[in-house]
Structure formats: C-alpha cells, structure tokens
Structure 1
C-alpha cells in the first residue's frame, strides 16, 4: 500500500496542532484573576504558620483558607486539601510550604486551581522518589534533629530553633515550636501520582539560608518546573520572616499585582 506523503504530512501537522492546543488549554488558568487562596502547611507546623501572610492577602480582597494538614499519609493530606478546594468559588491559588509541596503538586490538578506557589517546598515529578532526589544534594542540618516516638515524628527543640526557624526571634520560634504537630512515619513514604506544575503556572520562593531543605535542591526543582522564582535570604520559614515577599508572590500568582 502506498501512502501520499503530502496527505500524511498534513495529518501529522493537524495532530501536532491538536496536541499543542490541548496542552495550551490545560496550562491556562480557569478564568482570569484568582478569587481565592488555599494555603497548606508542612511538617513541624500547623495552619497558624500562615498567620503573617493571611491578613496581607485578605487586605487585597482574596478569600483565604489555611488547611489543617493531618500529617498522616500523603493520600489523606491531599484529600484534606481537595475538600477545601471543592468549596472554593472560582479560580484559586494553591500555595504550600515545605513538605506540603507534595500536596500542591498532586492536588493542583483540581479544576479550581489556577496557579501553584511553592514556599521552600518539595516539588516532585509524578511518581518520583523525593528521598532519592534529595539525596543528590548535601543533607540539610535539620534532618539530624528529627525524633521518633514510635510511629510519630517531630523536630527537637534545638533543631527547630536553629535549623527550622533560625532567623526568627527566639520567643517567636519557641511559640511556633509549642504548636508543632507530629507527623506519621507513613507520610514520608508517599509519592505523587500527578505533577500539576507541568500544566499550570507555577511560582517558587527559594530560601537561601535554609537548613531544612537544601537551597540548591530548591533551585533545581524551581528551574525544572519553569517556575517564576524569587530568592529570599531566609530560614526555612520565609512565610513568617518575610511575609510581605511571600504574599507578593502569591498575589502575582493570583493576577493581583
């Protein structure tokens, strides 16, 4: 059987255009400026870790919700974020700090999510072993401060003050330590099944003085996803030590700057 090269070429071109159009539509935010922001906390914290950022976003007319991450399994943590996303009316920015970058990566395929924001956060690809990825970079000091009581993990007070919140006044850091929530060991074994940053606008705030997630690992993940990236001279908790910069990045992701 003979095949007309011109016919084949036209068909291949049409197929390519169709694929490009599909990707373009997938990458487009669902309808202009975001109305809402959903925030997710990581390990060694709770939803109050966003308390410095929330008023700055609310002052710009955004509806803001801080998810209480159960810190049990990745599946249950993603489900908690999805339930909050289900309640949002219109385009929503999903922002995550630290471990919750795993949640942002997975949950942001939700149709309400218009953009992703990572704050010194994990940003794996679909199915990627994050532990193996992180092992390609020098281990951050905070890793040595993780303690386990049976199945529950937490960060020691010394490591929390020095390696997690090192640029905060000691009294503020101790108050944060007091509300630290333990995480289940099984949480660390979870892997994402999807990577929403491949199809939606993504933003990343690198903490250059981070002792919890290696700054070079953060830069690698941000570059790989093609994120709009800022760098802050900050500890791991830039959302507390640099709330205006973090709020500014979220506002940019929301189309409000």
Structure 2
C-alpha cells in the first residue's frame, strides 16, 4: 500500500472511514479499524449514508466559506464547524484547552467530499473493527452502528464524543491491537 512494505492495519476516524473503505482493498492491508467513522458501501456517499438518519448537532453548526480557489474548483465551499460550538459537538469530553486549540486550528473540509461515492468496500474482503462513540454529536451514532453492522465490523461502544482517540485512547489502542493481532497485521 502506497510504498509500505509488510502488512498494514488501516485506521480511519470520521470521514477517514470512507478513505479506509476505499484504500483498504490494497493487498497488504490486513484489517480495517473504524473510529466514530463512516463505513460506506460500494456506490454510496457520506451524504447518502448520513441521509438515512436524523441529523446530528453538527448540521446546524457548519460554516460554509467560499473556497480560496475561486472558480478553479467550481467554487465549492470550504466547510468548518463554528468555533464556539466545536467543543460541544466534537470534543465534549476532551480537555477544554485542547478543544480550544482544535477549534481554532481546524482544517476545512471540501463540501464535495460528502457527495463522492465509494467505488469499492474493502470491508467485504477484509476483517474490520470499530468503535461507536455513543455520545457523538458529530455523526449520529446510529449511522456508525448501521454501517458497522452492515459491514460485519466487530464493534465496541464507548461513551465518548466524536474525538474518541483523544478522550479514550486506551480503548482505541486496544481495538487497534486486537485488529493487528487477529489479522497478522
């Protein structure tokens, strides 16, 4: 995978789940780990999967800013979370100082990323593990549960905000190690 020799366990958080779903089809990828993430099926977009469920609190806190690329990218907006709502929505159980830094330094997402469809679903051929963040205000936890159940993901529920890797690092490491050990990765 991308110049990495040996077995790989891919870990994706949030829309990074779509990334590992797609790139996980590489031959040296041995397992997938989803952390409060989208587990897409073939020909499905983030927006389509999310659209099957009620919106999370994130929907009302998004800020759309014209792209600095202007018309070069079709003038698609950059998307961020309102700084004043970031901690509540993304990081309710993260140290407040860290949440403040994350809010101020967030990198915008490209709006069209939510419409791109997966062309492959690596979970159909690779074992997968995942954490549902049951207190997630960014992705409706039912979106996570549905995607994981459909994909046959070995799932653990953690009472966590969206940033489960910061608020519950031991549980995250445990799941990643479990995936690595079980898959030979």
Q: TM-score, normalised by structure 2?
A: 0.89
Secondary structure of the 1:116 match is strand
Quote how far apart the aligned CAs of 1:165 are: 0.7
Distance 1:208 1:110, change over 3 A: same
* 2:45 and 2:114 in contact (8 A); partners too: no
Pair member with larger Rg: 1
CA distance in 1, matches of 2:45, 2:107: 24
What do residues 101-130 of structure 1 show as CA deviations (whole Å, max 9, x unaligned)? 110100000111000000000111000143
Aligned to 1:190: 116
**Quick check: 1:149 aligned with 2:75?**
no
Secondary structure of the 2:63 match is strand
Q: TM-score, normalised by structure 1?
A: 0.65
Aligned to 2:167: 241
CA distance in 1, matches of 2:5, 2:181: 16
Q: Which of 39, 52, 55 is residue 136 of structure 1 equivalent to?
A: 52
CA distance in 2, matches of 1:251, 1:142: 31
Aligned to 1:126: 42
Q: Which has the higher contact order (CA 8 A, sep 6+)?
A: 2
Choose 224-233 or 152-161, whichever is displaced more.
152-161
**Quick check: 1:205 aligned with 2:131?**
yes
Quote how far apart the aligned CAs of 1:133 are: 2.5
- Residues matched between the structures, number: 173
Secondary structure of the 1:254 match is helix
Quote how far apart the aligned CAs of 1:138 are: 1.4
Aligned to 1:107: 23
Quote how far apart the aligned CAs of 1:93 are: 0.2
**Quick check: 1:91 aligned with 2:17?**
no
Structure 1: runs of 5+ lacking an equivalent: 1-84
Aligned to 2:69: none
Distance 1:164 1:182, change over 3 A: same
CA distance in 2, matches of 1:177, 1:129: 26
CA distance in 2, matches of 1:113, 1:252: 15
Structure 2: runs of 5+ lacking an equivalent: 67-76
